[in-house]
Structure 1
Amino acid sequence: MMSNFWQMFKYGVVRMHDLVEDVLNWETFYLSGRLQKPVQVLVDNLDIGNLNSINLKGAISAALLLLPAKFTEEHLYAKICSLSYMGDLRMLFAEDRNKVKKIVQVQFNLFQTMYKPLLEEYGAKGLLRFSSSDGQQAIVSQDCGLSVARSLVSSLPSKVRSQMGMKLGEKTKLSESGRVLREVVVGSREEAAECMRGVLRRKVMVSSARQAVSGLVAVGGVNAIRYLANKMEKAWKSWT
C-alpha cells in the first residue's frame, strides 16, 4: 500500500569550501549559525561534525559574553540560538517573536547532547561552574571578570576578532613558537560584548537580506507571496 504522507523541505546548494570557511571563520554567519542548532547530517565526507566543534565553541564564547553571572542551561542555549537571528530583517515583521524560545524548548535534549561535552571543557578550565536544579537542567555560573572576557574574545573566530579589532584596537604579542599574534584590546566586558553584538548583527543583516531576496526569486511570485503571508500571519499571532 502506498502512503500518501508527504513533507516539504527547504534546501540549498553550497560549495564545500564556502561551508568550511563559514564554519571556521563565520564569514557570513549563515551556515555556521544554522549548524549551531541541532541538525541531521546525512552525508559527511569532510568530517564537518568535527570541524563544527570549533563553531560550537565560538558560539558558547559569544553567548557567555552576552549572559549575566548566573543563568540556566535553557538561557544559554537560547542565547546561542539567538546569535544567528540578531539583525535578521525577517524577525522584524515575518517571524514569530518566540521562535528562539520554541526552538530550544522543543529540542532541549538535542542542544544538551551538542553542547554538554564542550561546556564540561569550559568547566574544567574554571570558566564555568554548574549546580543542580529541580529540573533536568543545570544552573550555570560564570566569572565576569576582565581576564575571562579577554579569554572568551580570543576564542571567537578570527574574522569576528579582526572586525572587533578594527573597532576596539589591537595589540601584538609573540607566541611561544615565535609567531606574531594579534589580540583585540578589551577594556571592559560590556564594551567587548556590545562590539561583538554589532559585528554579528551586521553579518546576519547582510546574509538574511541576501537569502530573503534569493528565496523569493527561487520560489516564484505567487508562491513567494503565499509563503510571506503565512510567515507574517504567524508573526502577527505571536504578538497578539
Structure 2
Amino acid sequence: MKQMVDIRVFDECRGAHSHEHPQILVPLRQTMRVLAGDAEYEVTPQELCFIPARMLHRCDYLGKLLAMNLSEDMADSKDAVLLSSPMVISMHGQILQLVDLIQAELKQDPNSRSVRHLYAYLYSKLIENCAAPSIRYIGEHYDLPITVNQLAGIERYNVTYYNGWFKQKTGFSPSFYLRCIRINRAKELLTNTRYSVMEIAVMVGYSSNSTFTRAFHSICGMTPKEYRNCPCFQKSIG
C-alpha cells in the first residue's frame, strides 16, 4: 500500500475549501473552529480533527496549525464508512506522543522518511480509536434500527457512561454519529444510482421519507432531491 503523505505547518487557515485527500488538522497554540458539512467543531491544542476527503470545510484560524494529508489509497476499504464523517479526538497517550514526535521530526527534516512512518502509525491509531465493537457495529449495520441501549450493551457499559465514552472516542453523540454514517451512504446512492429517494431512505435505515428528509437536511442543508439535482454532485449513471 502506497504511503503518500504531505505534512506541513501553516501560520493560518482561512476560507471554505475541500481536498481530494483525507486530512488531519492539529491546532498548535489556541482553539480552532472548523465548520465541516453542516456542523461546527471547536478543536483545542489537545485535540486533532479528522476531515474526510472532498468534504467542504471552513477554518478561520490564525496561528500555528499542523496539517497532515494522506492519499486515499492509504486507507483500507473496510475503514471507509468509519472515516466518512469528521471526527474530533482527544490526544492522549500514544496519539499525543506521535504528534509530538512528528513535530520534532519536521523541525529537523521535513522530508524525513521517519515522519511518514510516524504518520502511518498515527493513522493506524486513528482507526484503532474507531475500532470499538459498538462503533464497528454502526458502520456495518447502519441500515438497521439501532438504539443507544443496544450499543451500550455491546460495550457492556451503562448508557450514561457510554454516551460520554462515545463522545470522547468520536467527538459526537451516538445518535448524531449514526445519522452522519447513514446520510453519507445516502449521498453516495443519490449520486451513483437511480434508486428513488424512498428506496434510498429504507436502504440507509429510515422508515419514512419525511424522517429521512429531515435527517438529510440537518446534515447537508438541503433535501435529498435537491442534492441529487445539484449539478455539482451529479455523475453519469450507466
TM-score by length of 2: 0.26
Indicate the structure with greater helix content.
Answer: 1
Indicate the structure with greater strand content.
Answer: 2
Structure with the greater alpha carbon radius of gyration: 1
